[in-house]
């Protein structure tokens, strides 16, 4: 190959390069072209490398999808994931058929309830049978609703077993209640009264006890356990609904036919919430942050329909549960259901229970009658001692102080 045309004086090459870079950008296209022309022969042209097409290689434009297609695909995948999680929870895929054994149990429940309602109501029935239990005096003569700033014992422990640290806020809340004590309709007037505490247990589903429940003088419900859509099993009337702010029903229709909403104080801020609901003055943004769940601002009831459960109910319940607990000495928080039973014993001569009893031997059974959470979820909670509560309620049933309509205890 003849390289003579490429030979140049080195000095002239450098000078030409310097002139080019002096007059323009050293990286300019013109400069690079002149550098190339210096080094190449006159009849030679720069070799342009052309990519070799691979028949098995897909072009980049065909391998990667566009931004629009990527966005649409992401939305579809996200929707699919949410559907897989939410649809089974809110829209059960199939309804379990009632077996002959379950139908027979339903008939037993209805017959048991009918016998109790048709029987004669005896004054002081519960009190006389409570005397058979050890420490029965703990369960008697407990004040039900707060009507003043509390007894000396109330200030010894913080909520929910007491009111320590809540003096000022309690005074404001009581001032907003026109009738803070026991209403006239619940006072002992010489007549015999029947109570029923409607628990939230899944055992209530399919019981068809609704019409029987509505015949009781006092019907006690817990937190957000619904009536709407479940009247056939749970009834439609509500005399007292025990609840804390995070457990309040969000639907205004759930308060139809409710005589009393009774606040169970678990923290001082709960009293501020009740004051805001009664006075129709919403809580501030920072106050709401201290609730572990979003709380409602409005309950469509008059101020005279609100009460505060006396902390002695919860404290006495906790005290009696210590006798049945395997963890003696450790403070425990009773469930609202256990507290409601102790409250009912103060108000009525006959007390019945429906929807009580956790059967941990069936982890896939429904925990509540109104949702799809399974019984196994109770194993994750550490606040309540449901085993000791079940033993306590069984003792009450065995003594004849209360009646278990649904038979899960």
Of 110-124, 257-271, 356-370, the least confident: 356-370
Of 265-269, 291-295, 357-361, the least confident: 357-361
Q: Tell me: pLDDT of 366 over 60.
A: yes
pLDDT at position 64 is 54
Let me know: does 217 contact 193? Beta carbons within 8 Å: yes
Q: Tell me: pLDDT of 312 over 80.
A: yes
Between the ranges 56-65, 176-185, 244-253, 324-333, where is the mean pLDDT highest? 244-253
Q: Tell me: pLDDT of 362 over 70.
A: no
Rounded to the nearest 10°, the torsion over CA 227, 403, 350, 233 is 20
Mean pLDDT score, 32-46? 45
In the predicted model, what is the mean pLDDT of the chain?
80
pLDDT 10s digits, 179-197:
898 998 898 887 899 999 9
- Residue 36, CA distances (Å) to 28, 43, 133 in order: 13, 13, 108
pLDDT at position 372 is 81
pLDDT at position 405 is 95
Mean pLDDT score, 66-77? 73
Which pairs count as long-range contacts for 225-233, CB under 8 Å and 24+ apart, including other chains? 225/198, 225/200, 225/368, 225/369, 225/370, 226/251, 226/254, 226/370, 227/254, 227/257, 228/253, 228/254, 229/370, 230/369, 230/370, 232/208, 233/204, 233/205, 233/206, 233/207, 233/208, 233/209, 233/369
Nearest in space to 319 (alpha carbons), one of 73, 52, 134: 134
Let me know: does 199 contact 221? Beta carbons within 8 Å: no
State the pTM of this model.
0.74
Higher pLDDT pick, 364 / 404: 404
Q: Tell me: pLDDT of 220 over 90.
A: yes
Q: What is the DSSP letter of 248?
A: S
Let me know: does 266 contact 293? Beta carbons within 8 Å: no
């Amino acid at each position: 190959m003849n390289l003579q045309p490429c030979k140049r004086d080195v000095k002239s090459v450098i000078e030409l390069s310097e002139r080019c870079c002096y007059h323009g950008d050293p990286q300019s296209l013109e400069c690079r072209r002149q550098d190339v022309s210096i080094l190449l022969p006159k009849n030679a042209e720069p070799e342009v490398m052309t990519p070799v097409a691979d028949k098995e290689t897909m072009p980049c434009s065909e391998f990667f999808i566009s931004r629009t297609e990527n966005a649409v695909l992401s939305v579809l995948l996200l929707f699919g994931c949410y559907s897989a999680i939410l649809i089974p929870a809110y829209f059960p895929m199939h309804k379990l058929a009632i077996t002959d054994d379950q139908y027979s149990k339903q008939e037993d429940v209805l017959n048991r309830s009918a016998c109790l309602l048709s029987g004669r109501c005896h004054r002081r029935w519960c009190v006389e049978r409570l005397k058979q239990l050890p420490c029965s005096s703990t369960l008697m003569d407990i004040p039900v609703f707060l009507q003043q700033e509390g007894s000396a014992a109330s200030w010894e422990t913080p909520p929910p077993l007491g009111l320590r640290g809540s003096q000022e806020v309690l005074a404001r809340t009581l001032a907003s209640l026109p009738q803070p004590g026991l209403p006239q309709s619940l006072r002992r007037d010489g007549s015999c009264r029947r109570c029923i505490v409607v628990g939230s247990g899944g055992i209530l589903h399919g019981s068809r006890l609704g019409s029987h429940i509505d015949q009781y003088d006092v019907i006690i419900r817990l937190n957000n356990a619904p009536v709407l859509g479940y009247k056939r099993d749970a009834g439609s009337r509500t005399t007292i609904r025990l609840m804390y702010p995070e457990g309040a029903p969000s639907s205004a229709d759930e308060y139809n036919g409710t005589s009393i909403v009774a606040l169970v104080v678990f923290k001082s801020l709960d009293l501020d919430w009740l004051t805001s609901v009664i006075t129709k003055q919403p809580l501030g943004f920072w106050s709401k942050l201290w609730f572990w769940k979003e709380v409602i601002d409005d309950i469509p009831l008059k101020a005279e329909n609100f009460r505060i459960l006396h902390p002695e109910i919860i404290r006495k319940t906790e005290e009696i549960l210590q006798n049945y607990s395997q963890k003696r000495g450790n403070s425990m928080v009773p469930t609202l259901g256990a507290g409601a039973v102790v409250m009912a014993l103060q108000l009525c001569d006959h007390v019945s229970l429906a929807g009580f009893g956790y059967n941990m031997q069936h982890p896939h059974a429904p925990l509540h009658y109104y949702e799809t959470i399974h019984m196994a979820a109770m194993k994750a909670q550490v606040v309540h001692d449901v085993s000791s509560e079940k033993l306590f309620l069984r003792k009450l049933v065995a003594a004849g102080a209360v009646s278990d309509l649904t038979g899960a205890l």
